[in-house]
């Protein structure tokens, strides 16, 4: 909850479960199979041609990149109205929203962290737009409200983002995102009084918050304030690491580290539990590899020292024992190992392996009670083990089933930690882990308005185009029949070394109660099987990801789970690229496509906000070979006039400063122009929202209600 990594800089794999619901007791209605003739809003074109290594590429909708263009807002309004008109005649549409609201209305909890003997956790009563944070003085004490972000804006669009509690448990530092933007404002609250101090830090972005051991200051990362450009569009370079002293103005903050000679480098800070070291993670874009620097905090004039300068592997700081620093790393271990590096003898020939690589991916290691808690992924599902300080395995932690465990935060002296466990159709329950015995006990469990035992998840493995076996989770009501008629959503991501693991959403239950099937393919490009799995889906290998996705669809059809007319594909962000590319390459496989906040103009992603950072995964158009591979699949540039594409609903948000919304604007306009009399190609554009994080509950429900109505109409689904 409180410790954040710079994975936020990447295209985060946000779950996008979509479908239609069944309202108990209502009459069955079949949506008519005919689609109305659509009259798309006019989108002017311009004469814009770019030259890439001798290849001329037209960009007729370049004007849409200017959010202040006077024609853009009328176009957005007209497109949103077109979506509203298209779904307005879907029978029982209001019941969809009513049922979904009921499913979302359940109490849920974040994973607690312990600081200064106090327990801090988030709790949502069900339909709150944002989750308030509570604190309690003992494990079984009465929780009291610390901060309610719902009071910060009338529409719930100001959200809590990064946060950290001071070591003494007296101060709570937190950042706010306004309307979904990645820009942050950091504030500090007194835990006892619940009042904010005067401290305010602006222009923080892609940052975490790290307290000094004496609770007197915080380390954070920021960029210079954009000048003369829209902050939601301006390119972000030259990140700097600062120390803010509590009680002083931001102007007095101390610059800890910067590299003006390396504008693409980013920095995040961690303070060791004993307060002796400041560990600086040196990132370069979204490359999973990083550099490591450190500073001896006991020395007033201590300099930042380079521990690992070469960009050769990933090193994630876990903890320390005196001068020995522990790192989770893929250096010499494709599926990761735990390393010990002594700052007194930092040479690589002195490094020691504490936990060796094995056949499962070592995803996370925590240093609690002088022991190591290792969270593994085996075929994209969690396994957890405990090791002693020397790396000897002590025990396995029993988990409730096939799903995802996350959390396990804590300090080296703590006797307990907490974790959450859930799956596709099972919401997270929170457990306490006694670090002295390995015993787990239930801390908080949600009470939901459906029978979690009515559903089942199975895992299958299917061959991709080149024979690679790809895992896929299939979730449905128990006893569903493979007759080829099940409405099915196939979700995927496939990129940035991000694993897609079981994660609950009320929207999935909505779909399953309709009699639908929810399938999730673990495509190459993710981290499910370590570095080789990731590299097999990056840069010039990116086509493998689209092949994996299409092969997943072919498996579902061949296994009679569904048929093309009943199959929708869904993905967000990098997954939006996945959907866009695959629907163009294999349109015959799908009955609907839902590319959300997608990277759809692959030739210009580097021109906006943090897009340049993604070249570590996508490659760069500056390189002729990589340009050729990118151009071959870039969704915007592979739309064929007159081609029969499946009904498509693009979704984006005006304040998305992760994937600039012009990606979606241009793609939708081009799809509409390519076949104005064909299947619908619509775009829904949210206002006062960004890439997805922090979106208010009301907006989430409204968006899904529209998506479900679109699927009901295009897949011809019975709504009851």
What CATH number has the domain bearing residue 491? 3.40.50.1820
- Residue 21 has a pLDDT of 30
Distance, in Å, from the CA atom of 289 to the CA atom of 270, rounded to the nearest integer, reads 17
pLDDT value, residue 23: 28
Please, are residues 192 and 180 in contact by the beta-carbon 8 Å criterion?
no
**Burial class of residue 624 in the structure, from the number of CB atoms within 10 Å of its CB (0-12 exposed, 13-18 middle, 19+ buried):** exposed
Q: Is residue 613 part of a domain?
A: yes
Cα separations (Å) of 410 from 188, 201, 415? 21, 26, 9
Regarding whether 151 and 31 lie in a shared domain, the answer is no
Same structural domain, 65 and 157? no
Q: Specify whether 267 is located in the same domain as 134.
A: yes
16 and 149 belong to one structural domain: no
Query: Distance from CA of residue 275 to its chain's centroid?
Result: 31
Whether residue 362 lies inside any domain: the answer is: no
Given 573, 616, 634, 664, which residue is catalytic?
573
Check the CA dihedral 471-596-660-545 and report its sign: positive
Q: Which of 369, 534, 637, 691 is catalytic?
A: 691
pLDDT reported for residue 299: 87
622 and 604 in a single domain? The answer is yes
CB within 8 Å of 377: residues ≥ 6 apart: 360, 361, 363, 383, 499, 501, 527, 528
Residue 604 lies in a domain: yes
* Domain-located, residue 346: no
C-alpha dihedral sign at 189, 192, 194, 196: negative
**Which residues of the chain are under the pLDDT cut of 70?**
1-36, 719-720
Q: How many CB atoms lie within 10 A of CB 586?
A: 19
Q: Show the domain range for 467.
A: 6-102+450-719
Same domain, 463 and 609: yes
Name 220's Cβ contacts closer than 8 Å, sequence gap at least 6.
186, 201, 204, 207, 208, 209, 210, 241, 242, 244, 269
3-state secondary structure of 574: helix
Domain of 200, CATH number, reads 2.130.10.120
Question: What is the SS3 assignment for 548?
Answer: helix
Say yes or no: 96 and 197 in one domain: no
- Report d(CA 156, CA 153) in Å as an integer: 5
Containing H/E element for 16?
none
Same domain for 93 and 78: yes
Convert the pLDDT of each residue in 359-380 to its tens digit. 999 999 999 999 999 999 999 9
Instruction: Please check whether residue 440 lies inside any domain of the structure.
Output: no
> 160 and 96, same structural domain?
no
In-domain check, residue 22: yes
What is the predicted pLDDT for the residue at 232?
85
Q: For residues 460 and 484, what is the distance between their CA atoms, to the nearest angstrom?
A: 17
Instruction: Please state, as a whole number, how many other Cβ atoms lie within 10 Å of the Cβ of residue 168.
Output: 16
CA 434 to chain centre: 30
Which two three-digit tokens encode residue 424? 């596709």
Q: Is the dihedral of CA 291, 173, 204, 617 positive or negative?
A: positive
- Domain endpoint, select from 236, 271, 306: 271
In 3D space, the residue among 546, 504, 499, 543 whose CA is nearest the CA of residue 522 turns out to be 499
Give the DSSP per-residue string, 191-214.
TTT--EEEEEEEEEES---EE-TT
Helix (H, G, I), strand (E, B) or coil at 645: coil
Catalytic annotation present for 631: no
Number of Cβ atoms within 10 Å of the Cβ of 344? 9
Dihedral sign of CA atoms 510, 511, 514, 519 in order? negative
pLDDT at 150: 93
Per the CB < 8 A criterion, the answer to whether 619 and 629 are in contact is: yes
Task: Tell whether 212 is covered by a domain.
Answer: yes
Which tokens is 371 given? Answer: 């022991």
Q: Are 575 and 676 in the same domain?
A: yes
Q: Bridge partners of 367?
A: 372
| 58 and 12 in a common domain | yes
The DSSP string of 328-383 is EE-TT-TT-EEEEEETTB-SGGG-EEEE---SSEEEEEEEETTEEEEEEEETTEEE
Decide: helix, strand or coil at residue 463. strand
- Number of structural domains found in the chain: 2
- Main-chain dihedrals φ then ψ at residue 458, nearest 5 degrees: -120, 160
Bridge partners of residue 122, in order along the sequence: 133
Q: What is the pTM of this model?
A: 0.90
Rounded Cα distance between 619 and 604, Å, is: 12
Distance CA 28, CA 421 (A): 36
Q: How many CB atoms lie within 10 A of CB 51?
A: 8
Of 256, 271, 286, which closes a domain? 271
- Looking at residue 35, what is its pLDDT? 60
Query: Helix, strand, coil: what percent of the chain each, to 5?
Result: 20, 35, 45
Residue where the block lists tokens 């459906």: 450
Residue with tokens 């210079």: 224
**How far apart are the C-alpha atoms of 203 and 197, rounded to whole Å?**
18
Whether residue 117 is contained in a domain is answered as yes
Domain boundary among 226, 255, 271: 271
- 194 in the same domain as 146: yes
Q: Any catalytic annotation for residue 573?
A: yes
């Amino acid at each position: 909850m409180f410790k954040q990594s710079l994975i936020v800089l990447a295209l985060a794999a946000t779950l996008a479960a979509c479908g239609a619901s069944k309202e108990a007791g209502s009459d069955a209605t079949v949506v008519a199979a005919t689609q109305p003739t659509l009259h798309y809003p006019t989108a002017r074109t311009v004469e814009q041609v770019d030259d890439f290594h001798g290849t001329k590429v037209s960009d007729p909708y370049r004007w849409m990149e200017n959010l202040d263009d006077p024609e853009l807002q009328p176009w957005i309004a007209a497109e949103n109205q077109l979506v509203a008109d298209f779904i307005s005649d879907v029978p029982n549409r209001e019941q969809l929203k009513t049922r979904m609201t009921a499913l979302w209305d359940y109490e849920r909890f974040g994973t607690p962290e312990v600081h200064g003997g106090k327990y801090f956790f988030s709790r949502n009563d069900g339909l709150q737009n944002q989750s308030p944070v509570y604190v309690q003085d003992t494990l079984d004490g009465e929780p009291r409200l610390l901060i309610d972000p719902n009071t910060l804006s009338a529409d719930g669009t100001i959200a809590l983002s990064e946060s950290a509690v001071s070591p003494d448990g007296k101060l709570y530092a937190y950042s706010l995102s306004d309307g979904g933007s990645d820009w942050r404002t950091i504030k500090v609250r007194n835990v006892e009084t619940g009042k904010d101090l005067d401290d305010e830090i602006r222009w923080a972005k892609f940052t975490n918050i790290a307290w000094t051991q004496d609770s007197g200051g915080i380390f954070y990362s920021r960029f210079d304030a954009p000048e003369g450009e829209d902050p939601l569009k301006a390119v972000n370079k030259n990140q700097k690491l600062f120390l803010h002293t509590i009680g002083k103005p931001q102007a007095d903050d101390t610059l800890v580290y910067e590299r003006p000679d390396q504008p693409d480098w980013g920095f995040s800070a961690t303070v060791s539990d004993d307060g002796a070291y400041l560990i600086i993670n040196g990132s370069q874009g979204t490359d999973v590899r990083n550099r490591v620097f450190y500073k001896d905090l006991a020395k007033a004039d201590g300099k930042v020292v380079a521990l690992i300068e070469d960009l050769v592997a990933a090193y994630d700081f876990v903890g320390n024992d005196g001068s020995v620093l522990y790192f989770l790393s893929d250096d010499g271990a494709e599926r990761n190992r735990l390393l010990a590096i002594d700052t007194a003898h930092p040479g690589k020939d002195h490094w020691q392996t504490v936990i060796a690589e094995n056949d499962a991916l070592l995803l996370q290691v925590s240093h609690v009670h002088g022991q190591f808690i290792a969270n593994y992924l085996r075929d994209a599902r969690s396994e957890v083990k405990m090791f002693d300080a020397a790396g000897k395995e002590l025990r396995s932690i029993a988990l409730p089933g096939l799903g995802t465990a996350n959390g396990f935060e804590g300090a080296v002296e703590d006797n307990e930690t907490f974790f959450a466990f859930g799956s596709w159709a099972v919401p997270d329950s929170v457990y306490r882990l006694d670090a002295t015995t390995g015993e787990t006990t239930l801390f908080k469990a949600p009470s939901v308005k459906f029978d979690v035992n009515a559903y089942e998840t199975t895992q299958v493995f299917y061959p991709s185009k080149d024979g690679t076996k790809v895992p896929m989770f299939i979730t449905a009501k128990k006893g569903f029949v493979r007759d080829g008629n099940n409405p099915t959503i196939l979700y995927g991501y496939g990129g940035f070394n991000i694993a897609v693991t079981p994660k609950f959403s009320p929207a999935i239950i909505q779909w399953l109660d309709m009699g639908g099937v929810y399938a999730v393919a673990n495509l190459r490009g993710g981290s499910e099987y370590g570095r080789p799995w990731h590299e097999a889906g990056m840069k010039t290998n990116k086509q493998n990801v689209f092949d994996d996705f299409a092969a997943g669809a072919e498996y579902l059809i061949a296994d009679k789970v569904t048929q093309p007319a009943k199959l929708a594909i869904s993905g967000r962000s990098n997954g939006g690229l996945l959907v866009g590319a695959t629907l163009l390459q294999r349109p015959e496989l799908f009955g609907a496509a839902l590319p959300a906040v997608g990277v759809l103009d692959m030739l210009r992603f580097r021109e906006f906000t943090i897009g340049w950072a993604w070249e570590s995964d996508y490659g760069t158009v500056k390189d002729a070979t990589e340009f050729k591979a990118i151009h071959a699949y870039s969704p915007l540039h592979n739309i064929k006039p007159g081609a029969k594409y499946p009904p498509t609903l693009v979704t984006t948000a005006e304040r998305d400063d992760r994937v600039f919304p012009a990606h979606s604007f241009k793609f939708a306009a081009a799809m509409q122009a390519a076949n104005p009399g064909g299947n619908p190609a619509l775009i829904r554009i949210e206002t006062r929202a960004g890439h997805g994080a922090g979106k208010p509950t009301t907006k989430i429900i409204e968006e899904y209600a529209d998506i479900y109505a679109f699927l009901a109409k295009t897949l011809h689904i019975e709504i009851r």
